[in-house]
Chain A
Amino acid sequence: VGLVPEVKTAGEITVDLGQPGQSGWKAYVVRFAFGGAVTASAGLIAQVYGPVVGGLFLAFPAILPASITLIESHDGGRAAGAGALGAAIGSLGLMAFGALVWGLGLHLSAWQVLAGSALIWLVVSALLWGMFEWARRSRQQAQRNGPNPG
């Protein structure tokens, strides 16, 4: 496995609006509980230990175990691995989110900081995912074409 791991994913992006219902309410109850608990804990930790320690927990992988478990049960183990890899890409977007709050928190209004940070997370994550997919497809194409004779 090189820089771009071999992940077999469906090539086309699809949105299945029936999928959330198929996940079952139990999965959402678990995510609600974990998400709520981590958000409350992050606030509590910030109050007790200050914002420097509390801020670390703004990027805690609270619901990832539940999310990849759900992917594993629906789409198999390799899809769960691909989901975790997607989270790695999303974490780079989360770094951009934090950096924007850090840099602009003092200078802009609350809604400008939050909207801008959410947008930068989405743009960075989507761009990096697109680059990752392009690299993966290029490698697959090269493998299909085989070694260059001569």
Chain B
Amino acid sequence: MIGELAVRFLLGGLVVCVFAAIGDALKPKSLAGIFGAAPSVALVTLALVFAKEDGAYAALEGRSMVAGAVALLAYSLVVSRVLLRRTGQSPINALVMGSLAWIVWLVVAFSLWGLFLR
């Protein structure tokens, strides 16, 4: 159990850094931002799922991932709208907004889960 979690941690961290490096190298930043929504966690998780479980398990995770991506869309739109509209005196920076908006992701993702997936 601990060993499997360690493998997930290492592979997840590594793949996230690869996509992040690609995003860092790209301009304009709206194009680079696409790599902020790269399927890094999904690729590692699903590769391990396929190694351990069957295709049906992966398909179930894929279905839920669609709902998670809808929540990510809501999250990203809220963050971009606030950051693009803030004034010079605003105390909200990207780190604060990006972290606070996790609440948006959780609310949307679990609302969709309650409505369509449970």
List A residues at the B interface (Cβ < 8 Å). 1, 5-7, 9-17, 19-20, 23, 28, 31-40, 42-44, 46, 50-72, 75, 77-95, 97-103, 105-108, 110, 113-114, 117-118, 121, 125-126, 129, 132-133
Contact = CB atoms under 8 A, between A and B. Distances in A.
12 contacts: A1-B84, A7-B84, A36-B12, A40-B9, A43-B45, A54-B61, A55-B68, A56-B110, A61-B75, A72-B93, A81-B79, A114-B43
A55 B63 CA distance: 7
A88 B31 CA distance: 11
Most interface-central of A15, A50, A52, A84 (chain B CB within 10 A): A84
A39 B62 contact: no
Given A16-B25, A36-B8, A51 B64 contact: yes
A110 B41 contact: no
Given A16-B27, A56-B71, A91-B72, A61 B64 contact: no
Nearest to A136: B30
Given A40-B9, A77-B86, A105-B59, A83 B41 contact: no
Given A1-B85, A31-B16, A39-B12, A58 B30 contact: no
B67 to A, nearest CB: 6
Interface of B: 4-6, 8-17, 20-21, 23-51, 55-73, 75-77, 79-86, 93-95, 97-99, 101-102, 105, 109-110, 113, 117-118
Contact of B24 (A42, A53, A70): A70
A100 B30 contact: no
Given A36-B8, A101-B59, A59 B28 contact: no
Contacts of A52: 60-61, 63-64, 113, 117-118
Contacts of A101: 42, 46, 58-59, 61-62, 65
A118 B37 CA distance: 12
Contacts of A87: 33-34, 36-37, 72, 76, 79-80
Contacts of A61: 36-37, 72, 75-76, 98, 101-102, 105
